[in-house]
């Protein structure tokens, strides 16, 4: 029997075991740079895991932007994402491994979206490209070829399934009663700098956990027990995981904290997809600094 796909994180050794057993997962390279949207594709073309296909944050992992709401990286519609997943060759039960070389935020976005779509067999490669190379893995320059499938079968209704979401109108009256966790860098959270959005600061009452705090020095995720202890001490103390709302600048790096909590056995939190870029687009919404 072929080994099953570990979830939500898969090690290089576990991926190699899948490949050796003939269980070829769909491999998605999600590398990206918010400051240079073309960098991820250039790096992919220079070398990537053999058989991988490139997916672009703006083009594949986000929907069209709308003036004044939904933030810089809106969720794609469920129908659009289902069609994209089919083009990648993803069908129910087909293993999918996603990775990047930036510590996992863009891979986590792809993981979250596929889970939101209803696809359970998806995992993030722990440590990404660096871990693959450290284990002696080779890179390739030929893009992987998809085996196109019909649009992924979905449940009727946006976001139905294991990955709940919340929008600004629903979150606003819950401030002080739901634990909001901001994944941005500390100086952005405090409102000292804001390189991407027109207003600096954070949602009042939010807590802070920079997504890179989930990682060890080598770029792999901290052990599950350590992650659980850290989240329980600073984030979920006094509340259930389902009472936590994750946000960041535009709903991308927040998925890293969601992934870390799931790896720690603390699944069930909600994503605010529009995040700060959506929140600060309405001057009537409160802003905190410091």
Q: What DSSP assignment string belongs to 241-287? A: GGGEEEE-SSSSTHHHHHHHHHHTT----EE-SSHHHHHTTSTTS--
Whether 194 is in a domain gets the answer yes
Residue 181 CA, chain-centre distance (Å), reads: 15
Residues with Cβ within 8 Å of residue 101, at least 6 apart in sequence: 31, 43, 128, 129, 130
Q: Is 255 tagged catalytic?
A: no
Hunting for tokens 């296909």 — which residue is that? 53
Whether 80 is in a domain gets the answer yes
**Domains: count for the chain:** 2
Examine the domain organization and report whether 195 and 127 are in the same domain: no
CA atoms of 158 and 175, how far apart (whole Å): 24
Beta sheet of 26-29, edge-to-edge order: 9-10, 122-125, 96-99, 26-29, 53-54
Averaged pLDDT in 10-residue chunks for the chain of 290 residues: 77 94 92 95 97 97 79 93 97 96 97 96 98 97 92 67 89 94 98 94 97 98 98 88 96 98 96 97 95
The Cβ of residue 34 has, within 10 Å, a number of other Cβ atoms equal to 19
Contact 255, 109 (CB under 8 A): yes
Which domain CATH number covers 251? 3.40.250.10
Whether 290 is in a domain gets the answer no
Whether 192 is in a domain gets the answer yes
- pLDDT at res. 160: 47
CA atoms of 209 and 189, how far apart (whole Å): 10
Contact 266, 116 (CB under 8 A): no
Examine the domain organization and report whether 126 and 33 are in the same domain: yes
Please tell me which residue in 30, 239, 248, 280 is annotated as part of the active site. 248
Examine the domain organization and report whether 189 and 248 are in the same domain: yes
Q: Which residue segment(s) compose the domain that 73 sits in?
A: 9-134
Whether 87 is in a domain gets the answer yes
- pLDDT at res. 34: 92
pTM: 0.95
Whether 207 is in a domain gets the answer yes
Which backbone phi and psi does 187 adopt, to 5 degrees? -70, -30
Examine the domain organization and report whether 20 and 130 are in the same domain: yes
Examine the domain organization and report whether 247 and 194 are in the same domain: yes
């Amino acid at each position: 029997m072929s080994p099953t796909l570990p979830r939500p994180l898969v090690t290089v050794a576990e991926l190699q075991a899948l490949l050796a057993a003939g269980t070829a997962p769909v491999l998605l390279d999600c590398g990206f740079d918010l400051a240079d949207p073309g960098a991820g594709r250039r790096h992919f073309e220079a070398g990537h895991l053999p058989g991988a296909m490139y997916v672009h944050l703006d083009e594949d992992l986000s929907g069209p932007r709308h003036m004044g709401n939904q933030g810089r990286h809106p969720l794609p519609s469920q129908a659009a994402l289902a069609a994209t997943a089919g083009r990648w060759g993803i069908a129910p039960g087909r293993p999918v491994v996603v990775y990047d070389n930036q510590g996992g935020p863009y891979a986590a976005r792809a993981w979250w979206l596929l889970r939101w779509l209803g696809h359970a067999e998806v995992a993030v490669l722990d440590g990404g490209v660096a871990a693959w190379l450290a284990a002696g893995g080779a890179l390739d320059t030929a893009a992987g070829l998809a085996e196109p499938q019909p649009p992924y079968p979905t449940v009727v209704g946006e976001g139905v399934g294991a990955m709940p979401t919340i929008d600004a109108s629903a979150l606003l009256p819950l401030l002080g009663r739901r634990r909001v966790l901001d994944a941005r860098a500390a100086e952005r959270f405090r409102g000292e700098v804001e390189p991407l959005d027109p207003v600096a600061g954070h949602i009042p009452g939010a807590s802070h956990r920079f997504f890179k705090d989930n990682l060890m020095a080598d770029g792999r995720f901290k052990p599950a027990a350590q992650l659980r202890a850290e989240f329980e001490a600073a984030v979920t103390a006094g509340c259930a995981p389902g009472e936590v709302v994750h946000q960041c600048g535009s709903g991308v790096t927040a998925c890293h904290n969601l992934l870390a909590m799931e790896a720690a056995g603390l699944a069930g939190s909600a994503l605010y997809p529009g995040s700060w870029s959506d929140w600060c687009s309405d001057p009537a919404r409160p802003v905190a600094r410091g």
